[in-house]
Amino acid sequence: MAERRKFIAGNWKMHGLGSSVSEIGPIAAAADALDGVDVALCVPATLIHRAAKAAPTLSIGAQDCHQEDAGAHTGCISAAMLAEVGASLTIVGHSERRQDQHESDADIKAKAEAARAAGLSVILCCGETEAERDAGQAVSRVTDQIAASMPDGAAADWLTIAYEPIWAIGTGRVPGTDDVAEMHSAIRAKLRDLIGDEAEGIRILYGGSMNGGNAAELLAVGDVDGGLVGGASLSADKFVPIIEAAAKAS
Ligand code: PGA
Protein backbone atom coordinates (compact mmCIF):
# COMPACT_ATOMS: atom_id res chain seq x y z
CA MET A 1 0.00 0.00 0.00
CA ALA A 2 1.22 3.49 -0.78
CA GLU A 3 2.71 5.47 2.06
CA ARG A 4 0.37 8.33 2.86
CA ARG A 5 1.57 10.99 5.28
CA LYS A 6 -1.10 12.22 7.64
CA PHE A 7 -2.52 15.60 6.63
CA ILE A 8 -4.34 18.01 8.93
CA ALA A 9 -6.00 21.02 7.31
CA GLY A 10 -7.75 23.80 9.19
CA ASN A 11 -10.75 25.58 7.68
CA TRP A 12 -11.40 28.94 9.27
CA LYS A 13 -14.57 29.48 7.18
CA MET A 14 -15.80 33.10 7.57
CA HIS A 15 -13.88 33.68 10.77
CA GLY A 16 -10.84 35.82 11.35
CA LEU A 17 -9.74 39.44 11.17
CA GLY A 18 -6.15 40.62 11.27
CA SER A 19 -6.03 40.02 15.01
CA SER A 20 -6.40 36.26 14.41
CA VAL A 21 -3.12 36.06 12.52
CA SER A 22 -1.37 35.77 15.90
CA GLU A 23 -2.79 32.22 16.18
CA ILE A 24 -0.87 31.13 13.09
CA GLY A 25 2.70 31.40 14.43
CA PRO A 26 2.25 28.73 17.13
CA ILE A 27 0.42 26.48 14.65
CA ALA A 28 3.31 26.77 12.21
CA ALA A 29 5.83 26.14 15.00
CA ALA A 30 4.03 22.93 15.99
CA ALA A 31 3.83 21.81 12.37
CA ASP A 32 7.56 22.47 11.90
CA ALA A 33 8.49 20.58 15.06
CA LEU A 34 6.54 17.41 14.31
CA ASP A 35 7.54 14.71 11.86
CA GLY A 36 5.15 12.64 9.81
CA VAL A 37 2.34 15.15 9.39
CA ASP A 38 1.54 17.79 6.79
CA VAL A 39 -0.40 20.82 8.01
CA ALA A 40 -2.33 23.49 6.14
CA LEU A 41 -4.57 26.34 7.18
CA CYS A 42 -7.35 27.54 4.88
CA VAL A 43 -8.10 31.10 5.94
CA PRO A 44 -10.47 33.74 4.54
CA ALA A 45 -9.14 35.17 1.27
CA THR A 46 -8.56 38.50 3.00
CA LEU A 47 -6.00 36.89 5.33
CA ILE A 48 -4.06 34.72 2.87
CA HIS A 49 -1.35 37.29 2.22
CA ARG A 50 -0.82 38.11 5.90
CA ALA A 51 -0.97 34.45 6.92
CA ALA A 52 1.59 33.45 4.31
CA LYS A 53 3.91 36.25 5.45
CA ALA A 54 3.44 35.37 9.13
CA ALA A 55 4.15 31.67 8.57
CA PRO A 56 6.30 31.10 5.49
CA THR A 57 6.79 27.41 6.31
CA LEU A 58 3.07 26.62 6.67
CA SER A 59 0.83 25.78 3.71
CA ILE A 60 -1.80 28.49 3.51
CA GLY A 61 -4.97 27.75 1.60
CA ALA A 62 -8.18 29.30 0.35
CA GLN A 63 -11.67 27.91 0.83
CA ASP A 64 -12.98 28.19 -2.74
CA CYS A 65 -11.98 29.55 -6.13
CA HIS A 66 -13.85 30.49 -9.29
CA GLN A 67 -13.66 28.03 -12.16
CA GLU A 68 -12.62 30.63 -14.72
CA ASP A 69 -9.30 32.44 -15.00
CA ALA A 70 -10.83 35.89 -15.22
CA GLY A 71 -14.00 37.58 -16.35
CA ALA A 72 -17.17 39.41 -15.44
CA HIS A 73 -17.83 37.62 -12.12
CA THR A 74 -18.34 40.34 -9.54
CA GLY A 75 -17.11 39.35 -6.11
CA CYS A 76 -15.41 36.13 -7.19
CA ILE A 77 -11.73 35.24 -6.90
CA SER A 78 -9.76 33.16 -9.39
CA ALA A 79 -7.25 30.47 -8.48
CA ALA A 80 -4.41 32.51 -9.99
CA MET A 81 -5.34 35.44 -7.73
CA LEU A 82 -5.21 33.18 -4.68
CA ALA A 83 -1.87 31.75 -5.73
CA GLU A 84 -0.46 35.23 -6.29
CA VAL A 85 -1.18 36.30 -2.70
CA GLY A 86 0.38 33.18 -1.20
CA ALA A 87 -2.10 30.30 -1.28
CA SER A 88 -0.68 26.91 -2.13
CA LEU A 89 -3.98 25.04 -1.96
CA THR A 90 -7.71 25.52 -1.89
CA ILE A 91 -10.75 23.67 -0.61
CA VAL A 92 -13.47 23.10 -3.23
CA GLY A 93 -16.96 21.68 -2.85
CA HIS A 94 -17.43 22.28 0.86
CA SER A 95 -21.03 21.40 1.80
CA GLU A 96 -21.62 24.96 2.98
CA ARG A 97 -20.87 26.19 -0.53
CA ARG A 98 -22.84 23.38 -2.16
CA GLN A 99 -25.82 24.50 -0.05
CA ASP A 100 -25.43 28.27 0.21
CA GLN A 101 -24.04 28.92 -3.28
CA HIS A 102 -25.83 26.02 -4.99
CA GLU A 103 -22.59 24.61 -6.35
CA SER A 104 -23.01 21.46 -8.43
CA ASP A 105 -20.63 18.54 -8.83
CA ALA A 106 -19.81 19.88 -12.31
CA ASP A 107 -18.92 23.28 -10.83
CA ILE A 108 -16.68 21.60 -8.28
CA LYS A 109 -14.89 19.53 -10.92
CA ALA A 110 -14.26 22.72 -12.92
CA LYS A 111 -13.03 24.57 -9.83
CA ALA A 112 -10.63 21.75 -8.95
CA GLU A 113 -9.24 21.76 -12.49
CA ALA A 114 -8.88 25.56 -12.45
CA ALA A 115 -7.08 25.40 -9.12
CA ARG A 116 -4.70 22.78 -10.44
CA ALA A 117 -4.03 24.82 -13.58
CA ALA A 118 -3.02 27.74 -11.35
CA GLY A 119 -0.61 25.53 -9.41
CA LEU A 120 -2.76 25.00 -6.32
CA SER A 121 -3.32 21.72 -4.54
CA VAL A 122 -6.96 20.87 -3.89
CA ILE A 123 -9.03 19.47 -1.04
CA LEU A 124 -12.27 18.26 -2.62
CA CYS A 125 -15.12 17.77 -0.14
CA CYS A 126 -17.99 15.33 -0.18
CA GLY A 127 -20.54 14.19 2.38
CA GLU A 128 -24.10 13.09 2.99
CA THR A 129 -26.99 14.72 4.82
CA GLU A 130 -28.50 13.11 7.88
CA ALA A 131 -31.62 12.18 5.88
CA GLU A 132 -29.46 10.42 3.28
CA ARG A 133 -27.66 8.48 6.01
CA ASP A 134 -30.94 7.54 7.70
CA ALA A 135 -32.23 6.31 4.34
CA GLY A 136 -29.19 4.05 3.89
CA GLN A 137 -27.93 6.15 0.99
CA ALA A 138 -24.78 7.65 2.53
CA VAL A 139 -22.23 5.56 0.62
CA SER A 140 -23.99 5.84 -2.73
CA ARG A 141 -24.49 9.58 -2.29
CA VAL A 142 -20.84 10.21 -1.47
CA THR A 143 -19.39 7.93 -4.13
CA ASP A 144 -21.72 9.54 -6.70
CA GLN A 145 -20.39 12.95 -5.67
CA ILE A 146 -16.82 11.73 -6.07
CA ALA A 147 -17.50 10.30 -9.52
CA ALA A 148 -19.24 13.44 -10.73
CA SER A 149 -16.71 15.91 -9.36
CA MET A 150 -13.43 14.06 -9.99
CA PRO A 151 -11.13 16.45 -11.84
CA ASP A 152 -9.36 15.37 -15.01
CA GLY A 153 -5.75 14.44 -14.31
CA ALA A 154 -6.45 13.67 -10.64
CA ALA A 155 -3.21 12.67 -8.94
CA ALA A 156 -2.01 12.14 -5.41
CA ASP A 157 0.55 14.93 -5.53
CA TRP A 158 -2.14 17.61 -5.71
CA LEU A 159 -5.54 16.15 -4.87
CA THR A 160 -6.94 15.26 -1.44
CA ILE A 161 -10.50 14.13 -0.69
CA ALA A 162 -12.30 15.26 2.47
CA TYR A 163 -15.26 13.21 3.65
CA GLU A 164 -17.45 15.40 5.81
CA PRO A 165 -20.86 14.08 6.90
CA ILE A 166 -22.94 17.27 6.84
CA TRP A 167 -24.73 16.40 10.07
CA ALA A 168 -21.37 16.18 11.89
CA ILE A 169 -20.12 19.62 10.84
CA GLY A 170 -20.11 22.06 13.73
CA THR A 171 -22.53 19.92 15.75
CA GLY A 172 -20.22 18.04 18.11
CA ARG A 173 -21.64 14.80 16.68
CA VAL A 174 -19.20 12.35 15.12
CA PRO A 175 -20.03 9.12 13.27
CA GLY A 176 -18.97 5.82 14.78
CA THR A 177 -15.59 4.57 13.69
CA ASP A 178 -17.24 1.65 11.82
CA ASP A 179 -19.21 4.10 9.71
CA VAL A 180 -16.10 6.19 9.07
CA ALA A 181 -14.15 3.06 8.07
CA GLU A 182 -16.93 1.91 5.74
CA MET A 183 -17.12 5.28 4.02
CA HIS A 184 -13.38 5.85 3.64
CA SER A 185 -12.92 2.38 2.20
CA ALA A 186 -15.84 2.95 -0.21
CA ILE A 187 -14.25 6.24 -1.30
CA ARG A 188 -10.91 4.49 -1.87
CA ALA A 189 -12.66 1.81 -3.95
CA LYS A 190 -14.44 4.46 -6.02
CA LEU A 191 -11.13 6.27 -6.57
CA ARG A 192 -9.60 2.97 -7.77
CA ASP A 193 -12.47 2.58 -10.27
CA LEU A 194 -11.95 6.11 -11.50
CA ILE A 195 -8.18 6.55 -11.57
CA GLY A 196 -6.64 3.14 -10.99
CA ASP A 197 -3.41 2.79 -9.03
CA GLU A 198 -3.12 6.53 -8.45
CA ALA A 199 -5.93 6.09 -5.91
CA GLU A 200 -3.57 4.44 -3.43
CA GLY A 201 -1.67 7.66 -2.81
CA ILE A 202 -4.64 10.03 -2.55
CA ARG A 203 -5.28 11.11 1.01
CA ILE A 204 -8.81 10.91 2.34
CA LEU A 205 -9.46 13.25 5.28
CA TYR A 206 -12.29 12.96 7.77
CA GLY A 207 -14.05 16.22 8.69
CA GLY A 208 -16.87 17.08 11.07
CA SER A 209 -16.40 18.00 14.75
CA MET A 210 -12.86 16.65 14.92
CA ASN A 211 -11.13 17.92 18.06
CA GLY A 212 -8.24 17.19 20.38
CA GLY A 213 -10.34 14.64 22.25
CA ASN A 214 -11.49 12.49 19.34
CA ALA A 215 -8.70 12.98 16.77
CA ALA A 216 -6.56 10.02 17.82
CA GLU A 217 -9.47 7.58 17.52
CA LEU A 218 -10.59 8.93 14.14
CA LEU A 219 -7.06 9.04 12.76
CA ALA A 220 -6.52 5.39 13.69
CA VAL A 221 -9.34 4.26 11.37
CA GLY A 222 -8.20 2.53 8.17
CA ASP A 223 -8.06 4.84 5.16
CA VAL A 224 -8.37 7.96 7.34
CA ASP A 225 -5.32 9.92 6.26
CA GLY A 226 -5.96 13.09 8.22
CA GLY A 227 -8.59 15.63 9.09
CA LEU A 228 -10.31 18.76 7.83
CA VAL A 229 -10.97 20.79 10.95
CA GLY A 230 -13.30 23.76 11.29
CA GLY A 231 -14.06 25.12 14.76
CA ALA A 232 -11.07 23.51 16.44
CA SER A 233 -8.65 25.11 13.97
CA LEU A 234 -9.48 28.67 15.00
CA SER A 235 -7.03 28.75 17.89
CA ALA A 236 -3.58 27.23 18.28
CA ASP A 237 -4.63 25.86 21.68
CA LYS A 238 -7.28 23.67 20.09
CA PHE A 239 -5.59 22.92 16.77
CA VAL A 240 -2.11 21.92 17.92
CA PRO A 241 -3.35 18.84 19.87
CA ILE A 242 -4.94 17.54 16.65
CA ILE A 243 -1.67 18.02 14.78
CA GLU A 244 0.11 16.18 17.59
CA ALA A 245 -2.40 13.32 17.44
CA ALA A 246 -1.78 13.01 13.70
CA ALA A 247 1.99 12.94 14.18
CA LYS A 248 1.56 10.12 16.72
CA ALA A 249 -0.80 8.22 14.43
CA SER A 250 1.64 8.23 11.53
P1 PGA B 1 -16.10 21.50 12.13
O2 PGA B 1 -16.07 21.85 10.56
O3 PGA B 1 -14.75 20.90 12.46
O4 PGA B 1 -16.34 22.81 12.81
O5 PGA B 1 -17.22 20.53 12.34
C6 PGA B 1 -15.42 21.01 9.65
C7 PGA B 1 -15.60 21.57 8.25
O8 PGA B 1 -16.72 21.98 7.90
O9 PGA B 1 -14.64 21.61 7.47
pLDDT tens track for 210-234? 999 999 999 999 999 999 999 999 9
9 is a domain residue: no
Distance 239 CA to ligand 1 centre (A): 12
CA-wise closest residue to 154 among 182, 193, 183, 126: 193
Nearest residue (by CA) to ligand 1, atom 9, is: 230
- 165 C-beta closer than 6 A to ligand 1: no
What is the CATH classification number for the domain harbouring 218?
3.20.20.70
**Is 164 annotated as catalytic?**
yes
Give the residue numbers spanning the domain of 105.
Answer: 15-244
71 is a domain residue: yes
* Domains: count for the chain: 1
pTM: 0.98
Q: What is the pLDDT of residue 247?
A: 97
130 is a domain residue: yes
Which class for 12: exposed (0-12), middle (13-18), buried (19 or more C-beta within 10 A)?
buried
**Is 94 annotated as catalytic?**
yes
The predicted-structure confidence for 65-106, as pLDDT tens digits, reads as follows 999 999 999 999 999 999 999 999 999 999 999 999 999 999
Rounded CA separation 215/233 (Å): 12
Nearest residue (by CA) to ligand 1, atom 2, is: 230
Q: What is the pLDDT of residue 3?
A: 82
User: 124, 164, 180, 239: which to mutate for ligand 1, most atoms within 8 A of CB?
Assistant: 164
Q: What is the pLDDT of residue 222?
A: 95
Choice between 1 and 164, residue whose per-residue pLDDT is larger: 164
